[in-house]
Structure formats: C-alpha cells, structure tokens
C-alpha cells in the first residue's frame, strides 16, 4: 500500500537543516535482543538521538505526524547511480532484491514501483479466474481494494475486531460464507502487528498458496518466530516515504515460488521477457517476447540504491521505534479512554504506527481530540477510512449480511499518534501530556464498594422501557421513585449515572444502583440493555447535555429531559410530552423499543438525505440519524423556516453548512440536480401531504406530492446509485378509500416497482405508520388544546378505532426497516390492536385531572373508515427477524407492474390539469372500493374542526 495517512492534522513544517544532512537519529534500546539479519550489510556509526524527560512544552516546535528520513549513505548511493549513467531498472535493483530477500528470510524478491502494484501483480500471478473472489479487510488502504479490481477480481470485505483493527477467524469465516467460495485472501498486518495468517487461511478454507500478505506496515514483523516475508504464497512490502524503510516510493514482492516470481518479473514491465531491461546494455539483444498481460511497474536503480543503503540501518531504526512505543505505552497506561490496539497473535511488532482507540470514557470524540491536538501543533492521522464507507467500493465490493459492525464501531475511535525516527523522547512526552491535559476532567479511581448487607429479594419491577436516570440528585431520585411507582408511564428505571464520587461510592441509592459517571452513558446503555435515558440534572450545561444525548442516541436509546418530565408528572402542563409518559394507559400497551444499535450499519459513514426533514416525523428521524454518525446529513424540505429551526436544534447554529436543501419534491429537474450533486446513499422519504380531510377536497395536490413527488425521488435515487430508499407510508394505504390512502398506496407501488429494476445492492422499501402520538397536529395535542380552552372534544364517531404509535416507535420502525430490508417489502409495526378513540380521550382527560370530558360527535367524513387495518385483504403478512415488525407483500392482481404503468400517466395528467373528478375516477379504477365521487361532503364549517386527521 503506497498511500500516506488518511487525514493528517496540520502538515509538518519544513524540516530543519540537520534533517537533510544525512544524519540518522536513533538510540539503541537497552536489552534489545534483535540482531542484524544476514544480508543486511554493515551498519555505519550514527549519532544517538538526544532524549529528554517530561516538562513544560510551551514554545517547543510542532510535532508532525510523520517525517521522512534519508541517511547519508542513501544520498551517496544516489550520486553513485547518477554517475553510472544508468538510472532505471538494472544491477542496483537486482542487488536490492537479493539483499531484501535475505533480510526477510525469503527465497526470492521482485522489486516493483509501489506496494499497490505489488499486490496487483501478485494477484495476477496467482492465475485466478476472471471475477474470482478475494477476501480483504474492510479497514485497509483503498489501494488494496483497487489492486483487486484492477486485477479483474471481486473484492469481498471482511469485518475487523475493533480491539485489533484486523480480521479474525470469525469475521473471515462469515465473509467466506457470504461470497460462497473465495478464491484467494489478502491478509493485512495492520500497523505492523503480526496477523495470524495460518488461522485466517484455515477460517477461509484456503491453502496458504492462495494467500497474499499486505505487509506495507510490516517490514520487521514476525509471526511467532518467522519473519513476515515467507509465510504465504506472496508478501507485498511498501517503501513509501513514511514507512519503516523509506525510499520515497517503491514496493517489493517476496515469495518462495520461482514460477510466481518469474510471472511478476515479466508483468512488472509490460509482460516483456525477464531480461528485457538488459537489451540496451553491452552484449544485450533487441529481441524480447510478450506472453501475457503486464503493467509499467518496475523499480528504478535510483530507488533501489536508496533502499540498499537504508536497509543497512533498519535494525537500529526498529530499535528506536520500539523504544518510542514503550515510552508511549508507559505514559498512557493510566489514562482512561486512550487504548492502544491489541495484538492478535504472538510475534514481533514492526511498530509502523502507534494507533489507539479514543473510547467514550475519554470524554471527547476522536475528531474533537485530533483538532485540539492540531491546534497545539501535534499532528495525528486516521488509518484508514473503512472501504464500505466509500461509494466506489460499496458499488463494487461484496459485503457479508448484517454489514460490518466491527469496522463501523472502530472507525470513529481510531487515531494514529506521531511515530517516526525524528521523534524525540520529549516529543512523545509532550503528546502524552497533552492527551492527559485535554481529558475533560481528572479520573480518580474509586475504592471498591463494600459488599452490601444481605438485602431482601428485589420485588418484581413493572414491565416498561429499561430506563437510565442521568443524575442521582434530589430531582433524579424523585423522578426514579415516581416512575417505579407508576408503571403506566412505561418507563422502568434500572439505575443512575452521576459524577459525584460519594454517590458512586455508595453504589446504591434509593434501591437503584449507581452504574457509573455521566460520561459512561454509551457503555452503560449497551451493558445493561437500556432503552430510554432521562436526563435529570436541571443545571446540566448545553454542551454536556448534547454529549449525553449523542452518546445515548448512538446506541438506539431514546432520550428525554427532566423539566418536561417533572411538569408532566405534576400535571402542570399538557401536550406532546404525555406521549412519552402515559403510553400504556392511553393505548393499552407498553411502548416498544424498536431501534437497535445495529441500525447504524446503514447510516454510519454514509451520506443520508431526509425529505420532509422539517416535519415532526422528519425532524425526529434526523435526530436519530445524526446520532449514528453519517458522513453527511442532508435536510430537505420546502419550508425554509422549519429547516432553520431543525438545524438550530441539531447543531446549535444554522445556515452555516451546505446540508440544508430547500426544494419541492414535485420539482423533477431540481430533485434530479440535488441527487446528481449530493449522491445520497441512504434516503428516508417523509415528505408528503397527509391531512386526510383536506386532501379529499384537493385530490390533485395529493397526487402531485404523494405520487409524482415519490416518482421523482425514486427515479433520481436509482440514477444516483442510492443504496437504501425508505418510504414512510400510512396504514390508510391498506384497502384505501381516501385520497390520502390511495396516493400513499400508489407511492408504495412506485417504490416496489423501482425494486424490480434496481441495480444489484440497491434496496427500495416502505413502512406504514399508524397514528403517531406527539406528531404535529396529532390527536393528543389537539385534545389538550380543546380541554385547555374548555371547548368540547370533537370525535367523529363513538365506535371509531385507530392504531397508535409513539414518535420513537415510528422512527425506530424506519431505521430497523432500512437495516432489514431486502427490497420491495412494506414493513408494519405490530401494535397489538386498535384503540377506541373515545376511550383514549377519556383516559387522557383523567390524566389531566379532567374527570368529566364533554365529547361532541361530528360524524365520519368522506374518506374516513370506522376501523383502520394494517394490511389489506390482498396482502400476505410475514414475520421478520424483529419480533414486533411484520412485512406485507401484495398478491392483488390489479397491482401488477403493467397496471401501475398504465394508470399513473392518466392520473398524473389529470392532476396536472387540476381535474379533481378525473383524479378520483382513475383512483377508483385502480382500487376497488375507492369512491369515484366525494359524496356527502361536509360544509366548510365542519371542515374547520382543528384535528387534521380522521380521529
């Protein structure tokens, strides 16, 4: 791999003059047992690097992430080659190959132009069939995947263990099963740590003759007692400017197979016969042959001369690297949240990178830390962006089912610290001092809590969402007591988080355990299966609150904040907060925790677009999506005020980025432009007209937005290569009798039809919502306004029933559907059963201390059903991997693709003419039972009833 660091923070300054004079900075490590290998040549005497202890680092020069070192001998060797008059592949290259092979204890070596070229040539040399499947780790340099593709082969991505950043036998086995039968495997010795090559080959069910090692980091690595270089069929090294043996560029393939070495020699120079470079030498011949494909990928004698000279110093340089790593490790050992990577197997580490994980325990994110270090003159980098986070490889590589959760978990934490030969001991101390100083607060280890006295068995807790209370002060304790005593709220407290050492030392407060400090939200949520987090610290600062929210939402937990809870508990206010508290009492079932942490696999590192982002559903969806770490989150809406409000909620400021998109989904040229420019990889389509009574009066507008708008988005998504497209639909689409239901059913069919022609790997799916509690203009908010004003509560019919879900359940359904979908399905949340509206209104009124509610029945209006259903009579319903999510597939003969293709043009044409009668006639022809005329239309006075939907 020839690439440098992925995203260096602050470029290094111009080297000091003494860095260019050929001196080699190193210091022999006491007790180092490594001896020069045969063939390394004699080492010249070099000056030791001055070390220094920790101290005040103010005024010291910057610490660059990487620095290139070229020895005096290498500079002299280049002059010698220039003087010879022969600077391309020649005798120097042959000598370098022999000396390098001896150093890594391989039989043969072939010098090439780069490590990427080495990987491609080695793969070509294996003679695999066209399109053969090659396993390679998801966390590697992009050049490795390009090498597989350039060789005419198919990359199959292997997940990594977040603790090591390398593939392990389990992830290899899973990837091998996913692709059927791999033909070869590429093993990366990440950062210079030894990889268990034989164990990985066994997991892939491949012989070592079908394994190629990516040793770009691993010159000097040994697996057990064997140096990396002769463990598998071929090993590929890099001499990039920042590698352990810096030349500037160049690579080497080592092997014990003479036939493979001969193929690579020919292929590195257009496939010409092996002695082609000698044709211009004295006694050479102009005759050569070409018997196979080849590249222009030879090493020059200038590069080889530098390599030979540098190789003589490599053992001393490796000692220095080990010394720097030991200093880092000792200094960081007691710093929580900065964790060096584990080594997956025994052997010798080449110490190419010093990579760490910045875990939530540190208190800052990886990116925040790297920016702060850059401000202090310390360079860092990230090795590497996972391949599946890049559009090209998502289109061209195979991934195992379920995604690559290990790589997704590792990437946001991965950080490489400075490690190079010019690095002084004092520079390492400075880096470690800054890491300790930048931790938000000192961490004092607590003594182990005394074993509690024997306690009576804990009484059974009510069934509800497992809830973590952040803050064990008076407010938090009161809240936990009230929640525990009131199971109707649907929140079951399981413990506290608090920063007070005395509270943590007490271990248990009010019968609930103190599970950690406020910064350990993520670990606690995952360890204890927490589904909801309540922040019960009224004075918590805005930035700290955002950190807590981000950590909780990134695990899929929902977050609520104390002031609104206390007000709702005391019945001092009414409104949308009640949806989160009295769910069980209101709708007769416990709120479900739908979204799982695995849902982040379709979002992390991807470009995500949410249409209708300013609406109540869209904005809640944006909050959840942002917590899973997309590379970009595009907010699309035609209402600029709502977008401005949402951006303030998400980021604390607004109009400071290009992620706001003002557009009407009915404007096809604009939508096409947006998708061409932004190329979203995941799309959540929440934009729609959904006011049922008004759409009965204005059906053309419903068609323009819900049908034509969806067509525009689906067409643009398919053209842009969008991977996941999720439509938000409604239960009114099942056997529709309203314009809202019919247009939403057509939108579902448009999405289903798009799946039939979608490119491989693209998924188009839909979800059906019930009535969402707490959404803008929903039943509870309207009823609360009516009760507050003393007006009668309007309900259409004494026996009308509807399905209800919370906003959190709705968004969870969307995210889980995006993860589970294979294409063409319609997902529905199993909401147990419908709720009679009259009963719900009376329960809600009682919760607000209004025992006698005055209900006025207005009568069912056009398009309204007495009872909704989740599935139509012509749909099959099946269970999914999620226990509370069902899938619907259509078996209706009238909903075939040809009927849809025939009906949509006439429908869209009628809508464009604003011909309401024609729109209804086309819809009636498409859906049996849909009324051709809106008979029984109510007077405008009744239409002014405040609730927008059909309650």
546 Cβ contact partners less than 8 Å away, ≥ 6 residues apart: 652
Residue 24 burial (CB < 10 Å; 0-12/13-18/19+)? Answer: buried
Check whether the bond before 914 is cis (ω within 30° of 0): no
Active site residue 704: no
Q: Which helix (H) or strand (E) holds 720?
A: helix 709-720
Distances (CA, A) of 899 to 619, 749, 894, 903: 35, 11, 6, 6
Q: For the beta carbon of residue 783, count every other beta carbon within 10 angstroms.
A: 26
Distances (CA, A) of 716 to 685, 703, 908: 13, 18, 18
> Could you say which of 503, 690, 732, 865 is catalytic?
732
406 Cβ contact partners less than 8 Å away, ≥ 6 residues apart: 159, 160, 161, 162, 171
Distance CA 330, CA 340 (A): 11
Residue 906 burial (CB < 10 Å; 0-12/13-18/19+)? Answer: middle
HEC-encoded secondary structure of 579-607: HHHCHHHHHCCCCCCCCCHHHHHHCCCCE
Distance CA 258, CA 256 (A): 6
Question: How many whole angstroms from its chain centre is CA 579?
Answer: 30
Residue from 229, 108, 210, 202 nearest 153 by CA? 210
Distance CA 615, CA 772 (A): 12
Maximum C-alpha span of the chain: 111
Torsion of CA 529, 530, 531, 534, to 10 degrees: 180
What is the arrangement of strands in the sheet containing 354-358, beginning at the earlier edge strand?
A: 338-340, 354-358, 414-417
Residue 516 tokens read as 């950690």
Find tokens 């604390």 and name the residue.
652
- Looking at the annotation, which residues are catalytic? 732
């Amino acid at each position: 791999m020839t690439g440098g660091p992925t995203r260096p923070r602050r470029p290094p300054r111009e080297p000091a003059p003494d860095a260019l004079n050929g001196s080699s900075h190193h210091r022999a490590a006491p007790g180092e047992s490594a001896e020069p290998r045969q063939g390394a040549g004699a080492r010249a005497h070099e000056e030791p690097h001055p070390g220094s202890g920790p101290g005040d680092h103010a005024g010291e020069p910057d610490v660059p992430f990487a620095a290139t070192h070229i020895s005096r001998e290498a500079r002299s060797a280049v002059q010698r080659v220039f003087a010879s008059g022969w600077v391309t592949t020649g005798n120097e290259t042959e000598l370098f190959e022999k000396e390098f092979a001896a150093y890594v204890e391989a039989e043969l070596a072939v010098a090439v132009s780069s490590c990427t070229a080495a990987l491609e040539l080695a793969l070509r040399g294996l003679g695999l069939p066209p399109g053969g499947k090659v396993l390679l780790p998801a966390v590697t340099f992009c050049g490795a995947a390009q090498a597989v593709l350039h060789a005419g082969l198919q990359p199959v991505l292997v997940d990594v263990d977040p603790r090591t950043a390398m593939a392990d036998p389990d992830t290899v086995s899973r990837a091998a099963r996913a692709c059927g039968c791999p033909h070869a495997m590429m093993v990366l010795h990440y950062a210079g740590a030894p990889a268990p090559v034989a164990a990985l080959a066994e997991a892939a069910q491949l012989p070592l003759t079908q394994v190629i090692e990516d040793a770009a980091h691993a010159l000097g690595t040994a697996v057990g007692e064997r140096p990396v270089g002769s463990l598998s069929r071929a090993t590929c090294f890099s001499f990039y400017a920042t590698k352990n043996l810096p030349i500037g560029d160049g690579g080497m393939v080592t092997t014990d197979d003479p036939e493979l070495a001969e193929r690579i020699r020919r292929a590195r120079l257009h496939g010409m016969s092996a002695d082609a470079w000698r044709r211009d030498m004295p006694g050479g011949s102009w005759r050569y042959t070409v018997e196979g494909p080849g590249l222009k990928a030879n090493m020059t004698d200038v590069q080889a001369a530098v390599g030979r000279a540098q190789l003589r110093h490599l053992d001393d340089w490796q000692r220095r690297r080990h010394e720097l790593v030991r200093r880092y490790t000792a200094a960081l050992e007691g710093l929580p949240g900065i964790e060096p990577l584990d080594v997956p197997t025994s052997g010798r580490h080449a110490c190419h990178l010093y990579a760490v994980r910045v875990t939530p325990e540190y208190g800052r994110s990886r990116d925040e830390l790297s920016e702060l270090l850059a401000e202090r003159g310390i360079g860092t980098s990230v090795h590497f962006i996972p391949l599946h986070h890049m559009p090209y490889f998502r289109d061209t590589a195979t991934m195992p089912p379920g995604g690559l959760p290990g790589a997704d978990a590792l990437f946001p934490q991965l950080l490489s610290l400075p490690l190079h030969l010019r690095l002084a001991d004092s520079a390492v101390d400075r880096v470690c001092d800054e890491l300790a100083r930048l931790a938000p607060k000192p961490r004092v280890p607590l003594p182990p809590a005394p074993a509690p006295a024997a306690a009576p068995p804990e009484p059974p807790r009510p069934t509800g969402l497992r809830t973590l209370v952040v803050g064990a002060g008076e407010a938090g304790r009161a809240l936990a007591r009230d929640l525990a005593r009131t199971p109707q709220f649907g929140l079951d407290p399981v413990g506290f988080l608090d920063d007070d050492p005395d509270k943590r030392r007490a271990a248990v407060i009010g019968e609930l355990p103190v599970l950690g400090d406020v910064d350990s939200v993520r670990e606690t949520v995952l360890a204890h299966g927490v589904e909801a987090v309540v922040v019960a610290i009224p004075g918590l600062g805005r930035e700290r609150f955002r950190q807590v929210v981000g950590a909780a939402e990134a695990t899929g937990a929902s977050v609520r904040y104390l002031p609104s809870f206390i007000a709702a508990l005391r019945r001092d206010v009414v409104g949308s907060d009640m949806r989160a508290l009295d769910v069980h009492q209101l709708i007769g079932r416990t709120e479900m925790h739908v979204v799982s942490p695995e849902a982040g696999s379709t979002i992390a590192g991807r470009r995500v677009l949410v249409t209708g982002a300013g609406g109540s559903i869209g904005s809640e969806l944006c909050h959840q999506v942002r917590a899973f770490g997309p590379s970009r989150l595009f907010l699309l809406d035609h209402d600029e005020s709502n977008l401005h409000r949402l951006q303030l909620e998400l980021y604390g400021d607004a109009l400071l980025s290009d992620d706001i998109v003002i557009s009407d989904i009915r404007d096809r040229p604009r939508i096409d432009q947006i998708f061409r420019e932004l190329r979203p990889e995941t799309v959540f389509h929440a934009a729609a007209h959904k006011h049922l009574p008004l759409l009965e009066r204005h059906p053309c507008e419903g068609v323009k937005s819900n049908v034509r708008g969806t067509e525009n988005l689906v067409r643009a998504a398919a053209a842009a290569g969008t991977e996941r497209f999720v439509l938000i639909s409604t239960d009114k689409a099942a056997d529709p009798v309203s314009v809202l239901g019919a247009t939403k059913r057509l939108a579902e069919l448009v999405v289903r039809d798009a799946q039939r022609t979608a490119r491989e790997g693209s998924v188009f799916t839909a979800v059906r919502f019930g009535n969402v509690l707490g959404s803008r203009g929903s039943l509870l908010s309207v009823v609360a306004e009516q009760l507050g004003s003393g007006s009668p509560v309007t309900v259409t019919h004494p026996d009308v029933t509807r399905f209800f879900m919370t906003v959190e359940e709705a968004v969870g359904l969307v995210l889980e559907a995006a993860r589970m979908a294979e294409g063409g399905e319609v997902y529905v949340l199993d909401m147990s059963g419908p709720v009679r509206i009259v009963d719900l209104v009376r329960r809600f009124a009682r919760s607000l201390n209004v025992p006698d509610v005055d209900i006025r029945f207005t009568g069912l209006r056009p398009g309204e059903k007495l009872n909704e259903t989740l599935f139509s009579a012509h749909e099959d319903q099946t269970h999914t991997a999620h226990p509370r999510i069902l899938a619907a597939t259509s078996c209706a003969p009238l909903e075939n693709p040809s009927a849809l293709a025939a009906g949509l043009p006439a429908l869209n044409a009628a809508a464009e003419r604003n011909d309401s009668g024609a729109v209804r006639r086309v819809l009636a022809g498409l859906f049996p039972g849909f009324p051709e005329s809106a008979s029984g239309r109510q007077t405008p006075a009744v239409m002014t009833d405040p609730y927008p939907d059909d309650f």
